[in-house]
Structure 1
């Protein structure tokens, strides 16, 4: 069966290299994954503990929690802001990492997650991915360890149409997706089959 992967870009920019990287993941999908790109990050309000209850959450948050919970895995492409995670991405993860009533399923708990990122710098997104890994230790998520996909000097690795053209980056991307698929399968297959 095909596993569903919710892909989230941590950038709001229309021409974001990280969003392009998620489209490249769809194009170079090794098979067995249905990659759905999430486009509602801009609609997620700042985290507010007073609203973090099933009866009070904003509709955009409820939808993101539902989609993350139903997905068999997550694919997160992060830029690097000030050596760390973009605020909008961290904010979204805060909303889907909680269980204030004690009776909800936490969408990130034990969820297979693969990280990747693209940046115009020489270090790619090494530091922001490291910061994300720390967040996912707290949430108990099952993060892919290797390969690490840091598309550095991204402006040289995409063509004018937004296609990822660097063969090494494509190979690493395919390996990352294959490893994510293996993690999902080792957990008993897809959510729909579980």
Structure 2
């Protein structure tokens, strides 16, 4: 039998109540056990344990070896967090070898699911993916390899076109040289013909 037992039929009054009026964060109820649970809460239709605080954490779990807080459920969420003006759940790790939040799924489903009307995920730092990355049904790794092959092919085509352009420039330079030479040769012939016409005209004037 319990050492202390309280019964209450009033939903607004606890069967057992502990009140502390001390100013230095004193405890209203304290439970301690050598091997079992210090405090156990059980309910058929509501919260097994309920905590409320005006200015601090409503429930705090602390452990030297095990988990600070463990949530186990059969048909609903193991741990549920909701906030009206801040993060629903936040994880913080001070170890360089462990993540602030770790998600695992032993049944083969998604370990982490995020949904939002805007950005479902925001990463402020580097991102490492050790296996496949799929976006809109496309394997990003395969797509990147295909794209890299296309880029290499385009580089080869660009190199070939550059060689052809160089050949065409050489042909144009040679043609420009030939045209310039022909113009110079034609100018010499024109000057000679003009000089001959002048001499003929001078002779005609003397004869007449």
**Category of TM-score, reference length = shorter chain:** under 0.3
Bigger radius of gyration among the two: 2
Of Structure 1 and Structure 2, the greater strand share is in 1
* TM-score when normalising by structure 1: 0.20
Q: Which has the higher contact order (CA 8 A, sep 6+)?
A: 1
Of Structure 1 and Structure 2, the greater helix share is in 1
